[in-house]
């Protein structure tokens, strides 16, 4: 593997816990739930009436030309906002870098579902001539990366990988790989999603994937708990600026952490269910450790994909045991921040890697909330209910997507 080192220099996020890094991290650290009754539509007709909605979000201020936000799907608005915050946080002056050496990979698992629903409704009500000419460019999953590159004038590698709920990790990991290979010096990377919509709710609910704990929304997302009954949809974005180390040092950038490993694999098992033996995710974890030249015992914290589904949490527990062996019982802390944000789908990995980086930076491991009776089949240290002060030097973030896509990203304290 190329010896070029890659560091994280900027963070931007929009989440059900807040519309910036500080409020999101404050919520994660304090075990605050962002789940509530849905307000974006009338939830009464649906089995699941709760979600992790982004609140009080105003997109205009994040676009160079404010009216351009109205030609962007909600997921793109989240992506652009996350990118703008990440670049500002990084201190990067794009006028002083070679734009051909800086890329964008900010993906979405589903894309512009809001645009598709709205314009299909227009077609049914008013006919084909009234459908917006912006329909296709607004809904495609690659357009967020395209728009971010235009907003900043970045002409480096620009693409997205769409792997459902593993989207963010794959985009971050492949951006890391391109920098390592020498074809770019930096990337804006991560994911965004906005699918709290009728089709999103119906589609997931009718496959019995969503929680119906409608009377206790803040307690509905409960990974690793024996009484979990499905995941809760979330929305938002998690975006990072990553750079080759010398590029970052040359401009005096602050460094949050070093990105040291990335693993990918496939379950080759089922459309939506995980492989029950956990072997696919375990292989991704092992690959990330190998890239990072770390032993299992070197990892202090694992941010789990754990969505609060019956099959998924158990399968991931098995994967963690396969990859980490005795270390599971001897010091490995595992938590699922989805207990607070809900499942942000294509944005999940971005937010969860940010949580992992902040655990390293702040020495605080965010909890898994809503653990009332831990599932005996999920017998790991899941940091139940309360955050934990800990010296976190190395952390790993897991993301898995429908179709059997697995991705693990490994980060370490920068030294």
Given the structure tokens 């994911």, which residue do they identify? 191
CA dihedral sign, ordered 150, 156, 159, 160: negative
Residues ≥6 apart with Cβ < 8 Å to 243: 6, 7, 9, 90, 179, 185, 186, 187, 253
Q: Is 62 helix (H, G, I), strand (E, B) or coil?
A: helix
Residue 260: count of CB within 10 angstroms of its CB:
22
Which of 170, 247, 291, 343 is labelled catalytic? 343
Say whether 382 is catalytic. Answer: no
In order of 27, 96, 269, 310, the CA distances from 333 in angstroms are: 19, 41, 28, 21
With beta carbons less than 8 A apart as the criterion, state whether 228 and 372 touch. no
Active-site annotation holder among 13, 48, 165, 189: 165
Per the annotation, the verdict on 378 as an active-site residue is: no
Rounded CA-CA distance 364/368 in Å is: 13
Q: Is 343 among the catalytic positions?
A: yes
- At 249, list the tokens: 């040092």
Find all residues with CB under 8 Å of 126, minimum gap 6, and list them: none
152 and 62 Cβ atoms separated by less than 8 Å: no
Is the distance from CB of 300 to CB of 395 less than 8 angstroms? Answer: yes
> 247, 291, 305, 405: which is the annotated catalytic residue?
305
What residues act catalytically?
Answer: 165, 305, 343
């Amino acid at each position: 593997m190329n010896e070029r080192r890659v560091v994280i220099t900027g963070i931007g996020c929009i989440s059900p816990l807040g519309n910036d890094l500080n409020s999101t991290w404050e919520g994660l650290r304090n075990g605050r739930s962002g789940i509530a009754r849905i307000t974006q539509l009338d939830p009464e007709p649906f089995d699941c009436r709760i979600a992790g909605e982004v609140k009080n979000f105003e997109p205009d201020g994040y676009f160079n030309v404010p009216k351009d936000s109205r030609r962007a799907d909600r997921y793109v608005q989240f992506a652009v906002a996350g990118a703008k915050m990440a670049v500002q946080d990084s201190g990067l002056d794009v006028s002083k870098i070679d734009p051909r050496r800086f890329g964008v990979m900010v993906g979405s698992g589903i894309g512009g579902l809001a645009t598709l629903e709205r314009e299909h409704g227009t077609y049914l009500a008013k006919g084909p001539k009234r459908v917006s000419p912006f329909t296709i460019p607004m809904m495609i999953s690659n357009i967020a990366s395209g728009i971010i590159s235009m907003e900043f004038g970045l002409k480096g590698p620009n693409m997205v990988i769409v792997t459902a709920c593993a989207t963010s990790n794959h985009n971050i990991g492949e951006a890391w790989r391109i920098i390592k290979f020498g074809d770019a010096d930096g990337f804006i990377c991560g994911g965004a999603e906005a699918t709290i919509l009728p089709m999103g709710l119906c589609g997931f609910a009718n496959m019995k994937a969503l929680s119906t704990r409608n009377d206790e929304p803040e307690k509905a997302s409960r990974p690793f708990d024996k009484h979990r009954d499905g995941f809760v949809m979330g929305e938002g974005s998690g975006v990072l600026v990553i750079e080759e180390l010398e590029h970052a040092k040359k401009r005096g950038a602050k460094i949050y952490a070093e990105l040291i490993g990335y693993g990918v694999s496939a379950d080759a098992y089922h459309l939506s269910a995980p492989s029950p033996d956990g072997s696919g995710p375990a292989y991704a974890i092992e690959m990330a450790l190998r890239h990072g030249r770390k032993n299992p015992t070197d990892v202090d914290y694992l941010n789990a994909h754990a969505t609060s589904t019956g099959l998924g949490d158990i399968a991931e527990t098995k994967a963690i045991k396969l990859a980490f062996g005795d270390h599971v019982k001897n010091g490995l802390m595992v938590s699922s921040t989805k207990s607070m944000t809900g499942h942000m789908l294509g944005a999940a990995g971005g937010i969860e890697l940010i949580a992992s980086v902040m655990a390293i930076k702040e020495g605080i491991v965010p909890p898994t909330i809503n653990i009332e009776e831990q599932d005996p089949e999920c017998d790991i240290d899941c940091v139940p209910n309360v955050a934990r002060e800990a010296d976190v030097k190395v952390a790993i973030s897991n993301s898995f997507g429908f179709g059997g896509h697995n991705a693990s990203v490994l980060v370490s304290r920068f030294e």
